[in-house]
Amino acid sequence: MNFLPVNRRDMAARGWDACDFVFVSGDAYADHPAFAAALICRVLEAQGFRVGIIPQPDWEHPTSYQALGRPRLAFLVGAGNMDSMVAHYTAGKRKRSQDAYSPGGKAGLRPDRALIRYTGGVRSAYRGVPVIIGGIEASLRALAHYDYWSDTIRRSVLLDAKADLLVYGMGERPIREIAERLKRGEAIHSIRDVRGTCAAVSAAPDTALDAGALPEYARLRNRDPASSRALAEHFIIQQQNADPRSARPLVEQYDGNRRLIRNPPAFPLSGAELDQVYELPFTREAHPQYAAAGIPALQEVSFSLVSSRGCFGGCSFCAIAFHQGRAVSHRTRESLVREAGALAKRPDFKGYIHDVGGPTANFFSPPCDRQRGGSFCPDRNCLYPEPCPQLQADHREYLAALEAIRGVRGVKKVFIRSGIRYDYIALDRDLGAAFLETLCRHHVSGQLKVAPEHCSPRVLKAMGKGGFEGYERFCAQYAAANRRLGLRQYLVPYFMASHPASALEDAAALAQYLRRARFAPDQAQDFYPTPGTLSTVMYAAGIDPRTMEPVAVCRGAAERRLQRALLRFHKPQERAAALEALRKAGREDLVKLLR
C-alpha cells in the first residue's frame, strides 16, 4: 500500500532527501478522504509536491517534529478533524475518556489548543520555516471568538499560534495556490491575498481600503453590555461576508498597529472537482503502525461515501456554515458508483455501504440558481423563518445516485446515516413522498435518526429551526410509509437541553412531550458553546445577534443539570433533579411524569 511518508525510512524508499511540505496532524494517520490531513496531502501530491505526515507528535519534545526533516517549502499544521478542546472535553467541561481519532481510541495523544502547541514545537525544531495552520480549529478560531473553556474572548488563533498564514474553510483551493506561489519563490509574508486565508499585518494593505471593519478586539474582551453588543455585531459582519461572490475582506484591529486581514472565502469545489479529490489514490486504511489498535473514527467511515458538501440548513448551533459553507455541491453519480465498486472489491467488504451523505444527506442538489453558481444570499436563510420563495426542493439527483449505487455488483444494502432534513422532504411536492418511501424501503436499518432538537417555539426560534408541527407531521408520514411497506422501523429523535432561550419551563414542556410520545432518550444532548456558531454568541453575549434583543442563557452547571434531568426523567438517578426542576419551573402539575 502506498501510504505517505511518516519517517525518513519511508522517504528514502521513495528516493527523497526532503519533503516539500510536512503536515503535523492532531489525528492518527488514516489515509482516507474523511481525514483532513490525508485529504490535503493527497491534493498536494496530485499537484506534484512531495508531502509527508507527522501524526500526533509528542508535543513536549522538539525532536518529534524532526521525523521528516526540514521541509523545503512549509510546515502545515492541523489540530485534527475536531477542535482539540472539543475532542478533550464534554459540554460539562469534563475530560473525555476516549478520542476516536487516536489509535485504540486512547485519549490524551494531542494537546489542548493543539494549533498553538504544535506551531510552537515546529518553531523550536526549525527556525525560519513557514508555518501554515488550517482545519476546523483554525476555521472557527480565525477571528476573535468566545472560548467556552476559559470563559474569555480570545484573539485569532493565528496570533496566538504565531503562524505565518491561516487557511479557513475547505482548504483545497487555498493550499494549491499557496503551494504554487511558494514553489515559484514567493516569500510567505508576501502571500496576503489568497481567498480562504487570514494574515496578520502591521499596517492595513491596499486591499483593506475596500474592506469591512470588524469591531476592534479591545471592544470585545471586557464582557460588559457594550462588549456583548460588539461581539454580536462582530458575528453578523462575518455572516454577511460569508458568501464567496459578495464578501469583502474583513479587517480586525488588535493592540497597537497589529491587524488581521480575513480574505473572502474560497469558492466551493464543483462536482467535477469533488470527483477528482475523492478519487485520489487513498489507501482507505489506517497506517500499518496502528495495526494492533486501529482508529475508531476510521471504522465508522470505512464503507461510507461522501456525496456532498455544504449545508443551507442554517441551524444556529452548527458551525458547518463557517467551515464548509452554505452553498451545496455534490459529486457525480458516476464517481459515486466508481467508489462504491472499489469498496465492493475490498476483501473486508460485507456488502453494506454505511452512508451516502454529507452534512445533511438530502441536501444533495443546490436549491436555487444562485447556489448553482457556488453562491448564496448573505442576508437571509434558505429555510428559516420561512422557506425562501426561490428554493427548489428536489430529490431527483439524489434518488438517482442512490439507485445507481444500489445496483453496484456486490452491494447488498445502502444505508443513510447522515442527517435528514424532514422539512426539506415536505417542500418537495414532486418527489418528497417518493423519497420518503425509498428511504424507508432501502436505506434505513430499523431506526432513522432525525433532529427536531426541541418543541418550544421560542427555543426553536433561537435555534433557527421551523415549528415543531413539521416534525409531528413527519412522524405520522414516516409511520404510514413503513406500515404500507410492512416494515417495523422507528424514528430516533435528538433533543437538546440548555440551548440559549431555553428556560426550565421550556425543558418541562419538552419532558411533557416526551412522556406523551412515549419516547425515553438514552442520552440527553447538552448545548455545547463551540466557536463559530450563532448560538455560542448568544450564550456569550446574552443577546440574539439577529435582533439584538436579550435572550435567556442557561450558564451554570446546576441549571444545565436540571434541564438535562428533565430530558431523562425516566431514569431513576435523574428523578430527584427532575422533580426539583419541575418545582422551580412552577410545573408541579407535571410531577406525575415521574411516577
Give mean pLDDT in consecutive 10-residue pieces for the chain, a chain of 595 residues.
92 97 98 97 98 96 95 98 96 95 96 98 96 97 97 97 97 98 97 97 60 91 92 96 95 91 96 97 96 93 96 94 92 98 96 96 94 89 94 97 98 95 96 97 94 96 96 97 96 95 96 90 87 97 97 93 91 89 88 72
What is the model's pLDDT at position 204?
54
Domains in the chain and their CATH numbers?
A: 8-262 (3.40.50.2300), 326-443 (no CATH), 446-595 (3.30.750.200)
Per DSSP, the three-state class of 336 is helix
C-alpha cell at 299: 471504522
Q: How far is CA 360 from CA 311, 314, 418, in A?
A: 6, 11, 6
Q: Does the N-terminal peptide bond of residue 521 adopt cis geometry, omega within 30 degrees of 0? A: no
Contacting residues for 267 by C-beta, under 8 A, at least 6 apart: 173, 195, 244, 374
Q: Are strands 152-154 and 145-147 parallel, antiparallel or unpaired?
A: antiparallel
Say how far apart CA 188 and CA 197 lie, in whole Å: 12
Q: Are strands 152-154 and 308-309 parallel, antiparallel or unpaired?
A: unpaired
Measured in whole angstroms, the distance separating CA 74 from the mean position of its chain's CA atoms is 26
Q: CA angle, corner 204, sides to 203 and 207, nearest 5? A: 150
Say how far apart CA 136 and CA 309 lie, in whole Å: 15
With beta carbons less than 8 A apart as the criterion, state whether 523 and 570 touch. Answer: no
Q: What is the pTM of this model?
A: 0.95
Say how far apart CA 520 and CA 93 lie, in whole Å: 25
What is the model's pLDDT at position 208?
45
- In this structure, is the dihedral angle defined by the CA atoms of residues 190, 179, 208 and 215, taken in order, positive or negative? negative
What is the model's pLDDT at position 209?
47
Say how far apart CA 565 and CA 508 lie, in whole Å: 10
What is the model's pLDDT at position 595?
66
DSSP H or E run through 75: strand 74-78
Place of cell 453519480: 333
